Amino acid sequence: MISGILSISLAFIAAAVSTAAYWLYYQEKDERFLRLANTGFSFMGIGVIIASALLYFNIFTHNFQLNYVYSYTSSQLSTYYLISTFWAGQEGTFLLWLVFATVYGMILISTVTRQKPLVMFYFMLVNLFLLLILMKKSPFAYIWHTHAEVPVGFTPADGAGLNPLLENPWMIIHPPVMFIGYSATAVGFAMALNAMTIRDFYGWIRDARPWVIFSTLMLGAGIILGGYWSYVTLGWGGYWAWDPVENASLVPWLFTAVLLHGLIIQQRQRGLVRTNLFLAGMSFIAVLWGSFLTRSGVLGDFSVHSFAETDLNLYLVAFVTFFAGLFLYLFFKTFRYMEGNKFAEGLFSRETFILIGMLTLLFTGIIVFIATSSPIYTRLLGQPSNVSTSFYNTISQPVAIFLLLSMALAPLLAWRVARLREWNVILVSAGLALVITVVAVLLGMNQPMSVLLTFLALFTIFTNGWVIFRYLRKVPVKAGAYLAHAGLAFMIIGIITSSWYDTSEKVTLPAGEFVRTRFGYEVEFVNFVRKPDGKDRVKLLVKQGNRVYEAEPQFYYSDYTKSYMISPHVQVGLKKDIYISPISFMPAKFGNSRKISLTHGETQTIDNLIITFNRFIVGEHSTSAPMTVKAELTVSVTGEDGAHEYTLQPAMWYENGKLQSDRVDIPGTPYKVQIESLDASSHRVNLVLHAPAPGQQEPRDILAIEVSEKPLISVLWIGSILLLLGIAVSLLDRNVHPEE
């Protein structure tokens, strides 16, 4: 599409002019260059907004001539999911990144650009690369430009559609939140580059601090939303699998969290100057490296989230190499001008324990960074391979110990000197934590590591809770950091209880029969609930004591993935979640099937059944499909108490490219009747009568499910909310100097 390609091209030219003008303004201090630079940025932003609007226009008008629209949308998608297709593919995510970068640029122009034009210069370099990528791989390319076998001017009848895993409400929220955080790291990165260029090693942190907090908040929110999406959608029962793409989002968050704490120490005693600049660089470079890993296709065999292999590899490598090289050049060029890391007079000080927490998170980030990249360097050695989840789980345990210790004790220590100020708070907090931990042990917590981590997490909650209470009465915005620490401790407790002490059982459910699980629940498989969009659900009845509720996990075959798609039913509770996920379905196997063919008004006798075909009922809507054909039958059943007559309506419909039909019970008999085929022109219907073989019990459909209990997983989600709320409150604190 020419207009879309033109808007991106003009945005690129405007960005190039703006970037050069910011550099010239820095060199010459001529106001004309600043006006030119800001005007160029405005035109870049206009180009990005027009391109975004054009992409949405083509999505909603179903212009399947565009390869992007064809690849990720279809005419069957609802408006709700059409919105999310904007960022379903690589091109859309880069354009989304530029949309947020436009907003951030407007803020920078109004705040720091006049005094520090190099911040915008370096920030615009990032935008230039993004626009260059979009010029190489445009969302406005026609389908015949991408697929050589497609003739010019060809319009597909429909699009390929969206991956069923992405047809989820969280697809509307999670990716934009993630990219708000990703693009915000570029601001802190640009400020660090500016600080090294002009050798302002202390003043930069005042401007960078709110951006670092904001990046930490949005990256954390994106990770948590992604975990919850996985938990309620994928059916495997977890929320974090150490998937390489998950890790690619975790590493930047860890580095920004470390940087945030490093800025506190630098503000207090002018320490960690080099460390903070290094962390600001690593946060953004980790984002770029993660973009390369997820978009280059190198993780295609190791991650369910990775994009397919692409022709952007050279551009992505250049993206990472250029900015990593630029950062390292400036860092080592100015290294000798930076003051060495100052430290507190005593080791048992608040700075020391903040540093312990920082080193813990930094160590974790580096290890995850290296391990996630293993498919690349193992490929050079022969067969590419990935690090197992057990490796990550093993290293996370000592990490949690050091992290909890630092968060528990740091708030109670004095700055600069080795002095513990609140012995009474420590003793009371430790006592309360010990009592609750003992109760947990009596209730069944028996793994030593889980007992230790639970005690430390409770200890952290109580010490930080005391500080929160103190600041809520004085300066509420100062309570944000401690609320975040308490939230993280709650999350650790929820992770321990829900993953180390979850229990599950695989259960086979014959249709129409309650089956008791070892948890004490009784579950009955009722039937399938047909949905108009083809995403059928399984109707289950669950008895918990005197309470009965319906569960409807999703279970259907997807032509898109050529596999069965499942989504669990989660019965949320404060003490535990009941997690029910389908595994497999086996239709009833009848040993006796008989076929009959009837025309309009014709009658046939089968055993004690007299079956008459009355008419076709065409065009009635049903829950199974928008267009259904039913055969109205009159069936007379002769039994010991005489003859009984029933009207039955087995149905046939066309769905997902296949003919479907249902089996209808014939009351008072073991028979089920089903339409095999029909011919409307000759008013003929071909039926199949299913019945058990002689001596066989009536066959029933069988559904296999997995029932799990997730104890106290609500604590994990409550802790997540507290963590994000605490970071958000910290963002409101405009005082760059932390509390005494």
pLDDT in tens, 447-475: 999 999 999 999 999 999 999 999 998 88
| SS3 assignment, position 710 | strand
Tell me what the mean pLDDT of segment 516-543 comes to. 89
CB atoms within 10 A of CB 169: 13
**DSSP H helical segments within 373-479, as ranges?**
374-381, 389-409, 423-442, 448-474
State the Cα angle at 669 between 668 and 670, rounded to 5°.
Answer: 135
- Where does the pLDDT of residue 350 fall: very low under 50, low under 70, confident under 90, or very high at 90 and above? confident
Phi and psi torsions of 369, nearest 5°: -60, -50
Contacts of 545 (CB under 8 A, 6+ apart): none
State the Cα angle at 279 between 175 and 209, rounded to 5°.
Answer: 75
**Per-residue pLDDT, 418:** 62
Note whether 554 and 567 are within 8 A (CB).
yes
* N-terminal to C-terminal alpha carbon distance within the chain: 59
Note whether 182 and 280 are within 8 A (CB).
no
| Residue that has been written with the tokens 């994928």 in this structure | 234
Q: Is the pLDDT of residue 295 over 50?
A: yes
**Per-residue pLDDT, 734:** 66
Q: Is the pLDDT of residue 623 over 80?
A: no
| SS3 assignment, position 619 | strand
**What is the distance between the alpha carbons of residues 559 and 569, in angstroms, rounded to a whole number?**
23
SS3 for 29-53 is CCHHHHHHHHHHHHHHHHHHHHHHH
Contacts of 646 (CB under 8 A, 6+ apart): 634, 635, 636, 637, 666, 667
Structure confidence by residue, pLDDT tens digits, 217-230: 999 999 999 999 99
CB atoms within 10 A of CB 667: 11
**What is the distance between the alpha carbons of residues 331 and 280, in angstroms, rounded to a whole number?**
11
Numbers of helices and strands, H then E, in the chain: 19, 20
**Per-residue pLDDT, 663:** 86
Q: Is the pLDDT of residue 277 over 80?
A: yes
Q: Is the pLDDT of residue 624 over 50?
A: no
- Count of residues in the chain: 740
DSSP state of 535: -
Torsion of CA 13, 19, 23, 24, to 10 degrees: 30
Q: Is the dihedral of CA 112, 115, 117, 119 positive or negative?
A: negative
The candidate with the shortest Cα–Cα distance to 311, out of 118, 499, 91, is: 91
Bridge partners of 515, per DSSP, are 523
**What is the distance between the alpha carbons of residues 179 and 173, in angstroms, rounded to a whole number?**
11
DSSP state of 604: E
**Per-residue pLDDT, 2:** 83
**Per-residue pLDDT, 307:** 47
Q: Is the pLDDT of residue 345 over 70?
A: no
**Per-residue pLDDT, 638:** 87
Contacts of 359 (CB under 8 A, 6+ apart): 402
| SS3 assignment, position 527 | strand
**Per-residue pLDDT, 304:** 46
DSSP state of 86: G
How does the average pLDDT of the chain come out, rounded? 89
The candidate with the shortest Cα–Cα distance to 299, out of 247, 245, 380, is: 245
10 Å CB burial of residue 314 (0-12, 13-18, 19+) is exposed
Q: Please report, as a single letter, which amino acid is at residue 709.
A: E
| SS3 assignment, position 520 | coil
Phi and psi torsions of 418, nearest 5°: -85, 90
- Where does the pLDDT of residue 696 fall: very low under 50, low under 70, confident under 90, or very high at 90 and above? low
pTM of the model: 0.87
**Per-residue pLDDT, 121:** 97
Token pair recorded at residue 478: 């100062």
Tell me what the mean pLDDT of segment 123-128 comes to. 97
Token pair recorded at residue 263: 């800025």
**What is the distance between the alpha carbons of residues 38 and 18, in angstroms, rounded to a whole number?**
7
Token pair recorded at residue 336: 């000798």
**Per-residue pLDDT, 5:** 92
Note whether 524 and 509 are within 8 A (CB).
yes
Structure confidence by residue, pLDDT tens digits, 408-428: 999 988 776 666 677 889 999
Contacts of 656 (CB under 8 A, 6+ apart): 534, 557, 559
Q: Which residue has the higher pLDDT, 422 or 644?
A: 644
Note whether 134 and 319 are within 8 A (CB).
no
- Where does the pLDDT of residue 656 fall: very low under 50, low under 70, confident under 90, or very high at 90 and above? low
Token pair recorded at residue 474: 């004085």
Mark 569-579 as b/e (b = at least 16 C-beta within 10 Å).
bbeeeeebbbb
| Residue that has been written with the tokens 């003919």 in this structure | 659
Q: Which residue has the higher pLDDT, 396 or 655?
A: 396
Q: Is the pLDDT of residue 55 over 50?
A: yes
- Where do the domains of the chain lie? 1-162, 503-587+702-713, 592-691
Q: Please report, as a single letter, which amino acid is at residue 333.
A: K
Q: What percent of the chain has pLDDT over 70?
A: 93
- Where does the pLDDT of residue 639 fall: very low under 50, low under 70, confident under 90, or very high at 90 and above? confident
- Where does the pLDDT of residue 276 fall: very low under 50, low under 70, confident under 90, or very high at 90 and above? very high
